[in-house]
Chains A and B, each alone.
Chain A
């Protein structure tokens, strides 16, 4: 999957980002409804490199799936996150790339993921 590419969603093309976006829209709408808002100005999401979700496809799916309601003009903002691991052998924390989760000091593979798989709705800014 190319990151940041524009994808047209028609009946024959479904990526799992579309399922994720439908869940995201429901969560945004639930927050807005709970606060009696009539619009949502901005929604900020955290999508880690190891979440299995492509931010570019998520953005395209968001455009395709939002209707004319509360989220019609919502700006979707991504917070970028790094992949960090903790080495269970030598105890050091390192920042690594998504397919090489080895300890930055000893090179060991017995590591625990500290961050990088987040897939979260962080906050919602309501509009009027």
Chain B
């Protein structure tokens, strides 16, 4: 939804707009509460697009295997694409250090107490990356199935992981984050034989019940990495993204002058 074309008026609120306000003197606003974040996200997307970089936002519960998936992905694709990773965590550089050990640049954003990345935090990290030298940027969001879903970062695709050590009803419990997914990865699938309470078919029907035909792909990123379905999806999405960009490309946006980034709000720092 934007604030320009009237798409903020939905089937759910149109009738309210026909009613007179409860008392006189009300000023109609009808603006998305996250307008400032949305604008910044669009700006971030322009940064990516200026350099033809494809950006993916990875979301899941803590410990679902986002970093392990990225390690396996980097090992498989390092010679094919130029990759960088932006890591979001409340504390520590641990995940960035794990990624760097695989030979690609990683920027760590520590959010302090904040439970999600937002577009402003991501923008600061973008200025520490040489986007002109990259094809793929993975953004590993803070492990959390609630908050990251509400904040657009400027990514091109959302990837949501559901590890098989969690409940197979997670899509029904966290509909917002699973609805935002362009692909859902069932991670740690090598453990399925020893888990008797996770039924991939039940996870899939919970996802379908959200009105989504999102692909559901099984992966196992550790020991003997089995991530080929994910890599196939990723390559296909990247070439589709590039095809659309070359086909429908408008006049490229004017290059932005170098700009400083704003400091994060005081409540973000300890």
Contact = CB atoms under 8 A, between A and B. Distances in A.
Interface of A: 1, 11-16, 18-20, 22-24, 26-27, 31, 35, 42, 44-46, 48, 50-53, 77, 79, 81-85, 93, 98-102, 109-126
B10 interface: yes
Given A16-B116, A99-B175, A125-B27, A23 B212 contact: no
A120 B210 contact: no
A13 B113 CA distance: 7
Nearest to B34: A23
A14 to B, nearest CB: 4
Contact of A19 (B21, B22, B114, B206): B114
Contacts of B171: 99
Contacts of A112: 211
Q: Which of A13, A45, A102, A109 has the largest number of chain B CB atoms within 10 A?
A: A109
A109 B11 contact: no
B29 A124 contact: yes
A118 B13 contact: yes
A124 B146 contact: no
Contacts, number: 160
B10 A122 contact: no
B11 A93 contact: yes
Given A20-B150, A114-B10, A100 B209 contact: yes
Contact of A26 (B36, B113, B208, B213): B36
Contacts of B35: 23, 27
Nearest to B268: A14
Contacts of A83: 12
A114 B11 CA distance: 6
B149 interface: yes
Contacts of A23: 33-37
B211 to A, nearest CB: 3
A116 B33 contact: no
B8 A123 contact: no
Given A14-B113, A14-B267, A15-B115, A119 B34 contact: yes
Given A16-B146, A113-B179, 5 more contacts: A13-B113, A52-B150, A99-B172, A109-B208, A121-B33
Given A19-B114, A84-B11, A31 B29 contact: yes
